[in-house]
Structure 1
Amino acid sequence: MDTEKVIDHIVNWLKDYATNAGMNGFVLGISGGIDSAVTSALCAKTGLRTLCLEMPIHQHTDQVSRAQKHIGWLKQHYANVSNLQVNLTPVFDEFKNAVPQVEASDSLKLTLANTRARLRMSTLYYFAGLHNYLVAGTGNKVEDFGVGFYTKYGDGGVDLSPIADLTKTEVYEIGKFLGIDPEIVSAAPTDGLFGDSRTDEEQIGASYPELEWAMNEAEKGKSAEDFEGRKQEVFKIYKSRHRANLHKMKPIPVCDIPVNLKN
């Protein structure tokens, strides 16, 4: 990958899109991870206003400190960057108290995790509406189009996706080129939705390099029977996740009414 040219291409694409849409800049959430760090830096490089939001909800301290350190670095390098912290913990807790209480289960944990992402999406669009900004997505190719590792109408609810055609490996490459803090680059990827330090790999059952391999093999038309051992296991994980999350990746289904029923 010609990293420098890819960066220039994304930055120009972002600037052209915002300018043609008559928008003033971008707003995005900063998690302390590599994807949001790279996306925010790319937005900042456009020269357009870039608002970085911290939206903690019972957040692990390591994630908070990395996010704050990255925002500080951005503001040192780009005069067009501003930031705000919106503590959504009380909002989240109030929501939990407002809905009927149910027995603890894995389904409840996942539902509440997705609720966190949707509260953050609503917050991003609040500021986007106030300032005429675009909400920039931070999902990479494997997350967005491979295993669907994001929340529908949460972190998947965005106006544009600057890095969604880049694998995680390529995002890391760009991050190193841009000078993103080594602590962020070396941190294990996590969605930060459970209030602990569980990693993406622990949740999915495979690393991003493994998933990138499986995605590439699936696009070639391969099946699980073409592999054995760990490769077969990873391929099955990829295919299972892909099938289960297709509803996130495809357009919303519309019930077409036959013309004869309308006349």
Structure 2
Amino acid sequence: MQKNNKIDVSKTNDHIVNWLKSYAVNAKVDGFVVGISGGVDSAVTSTLCAQTGLKVLCIEMPIHQDPRQVNRGKEHIEQLKSRFDNVSNTVADLTSTFETFKSAVPETEDLAKLNLSLANTRARLRMTTLYYFAGIHSLLVAGTGNKVEDFGVGFYTKYGDGGVDLSPIADLMKSDVYALGEYLKIPESILNAAPTDGLFGDDRTDEDQLGASYDELEWAMLAHEAGKNSDDFTGREQIVFDIYKRLNTANHHKMNPIPVCEIPSLLKQ
């Protein structure tokens, strides 16, 4: 499978930092709030935000979280605070909030739908929390989604981690994010960890959920953009391409603008 072309990490870093600072200044806000998960996307995003010199508030929002994810997040935050004096942090433990929500809504015997709905609920509780802190501190919510997730397979929660004010890394493939992570010297524990959304309270990885690695999905995204179809491939390549197409099609509702029922002018008398 053909690899994604490498970015110029230094120039890309400077470009994103300048874009972030310009946007925040024009919006007349004081900086950014970033949800820290212990993953590479949030680590890179928060480091990019920190380089603007504006306020950066890193929020940990555990909900029955795997201790390994929590520890990686804490390691990153401590490293970031030691490098940038404009970075602060806080913890909003949402576990009891999540449990209260569960007790207030009915369950269903369809466990697959139940587990997915609750996973999405975790993401939406976190979005609400980020906007609370953004509101009281005059900050923008910085999104942490990359290009494959946001515009390829739609691997995010609508109005959850997809609910943000701006998306600094959404035009970067996952491999680009890793390259930036190495350049920015984020902790090795994060760079070496298997990507996971951490929404199910277990050790499943993104690859477990998607059925393909990010390298494979990048390849499929580029092949799709080049006009290829499933019949152009065999074996694993065909399997991965079909996975990409299925997810891309199923999640268009996340990527496209909300449909609006337009009323014909002749009805507006």
Pairwise same-fold verdict (TM > 0.5): yes
Distance 1:197 1:172 in 2: 21
One-letter identity of the residue aligned with 1:231? E
Whether contact under 8 Å (2:107, 2:114) holds in the other structure is no
Q: Which runs of 5+ in 1 are unaligned?
A: none
Alignment map for 1:1-263 (pairs within 5 Å): 1-263=7-269
Number of aligned residue pairs: 263
Q: CA deviation at 1:101?
A: 2.8
Looking at structure 2, the residues matched to 67 and 207 of structure 1 have their Cα atoms a distance apart, in angstroms, of: 22
C-alpha distance in 2, partners of 1:189/1:101? 29
Preserved CA contact (<8 Å) 2:58 2:90: yes
Measured in 1, the distance between the counterparts of 2:259 and 2:231 equals: 32
For structure 2, the 5+ residue unaligned runs are 1-6
Partner of 2:4: none
Return the letter of the residue paired with 1:156.
G
Letter in 2 for 1:99: V
What code does the residue aligned with 1:238 have? Y
Supply the distance in 2 between the matched residues of 1:171 and 1:133 (Cα, whole angstroms).
23
Counterpart code for 1:26:
F
SS in 1 for 2:171: coil
Separation in structure 1 between the aligned mates of residue 8 and residue 101 of structure 2, nearest angstrom = 46
- The structural deviation recorded for 1:28 is 1.0
TM-score by length of 1: 0.99
What is the DSSP-based 3-state SS (H/G/I as helix, E as strand, rest coil) of the residue aligned with 1:51? strand
- Code of the residue aligned with 2:210 in structure 1: it is I
Q: Partner of 1:23: helix, strand, or coil?
A: coil
Distance in 2, matches of 1:38 and 1:194, equals: 23
Cα distance in structure 1, aligned partners of 2:107 and 2:171: 41
**1:243 maps to amino acid:** T
TM-score, normalized by length of structure 2?
A: 0.97
Q: Provide the alpha-carbon RMSD of the alignment.
A: 0.6
Partner of 1:122, secondary structure, is: helix
Tell me the distance in 2 between the aligned counterparts of 1:37 and 1:135: 14
Give per-residue Cα distances to partners, 1:202-259, cap 9 Å, x unaligned: 0000000000000000001110000000000000000000000000000000000000
For 1:102 and 1:242, the matched residues in 2 are separated by 28
After superposition, give the CA deviation of every residue in 1:118-143 in whole Å (9 maximum; x if it has no partner): 00000000000101100000000000
Structure 1 stretches (4+) deviating beyond 6 angstroms? Answer: none
The percent identity for this pair of structures is: 66
Cα distance in structure 2, aligned partners of 1:165 and 1:60: 29
3-state DSSP of counterpart to 1:180: coil
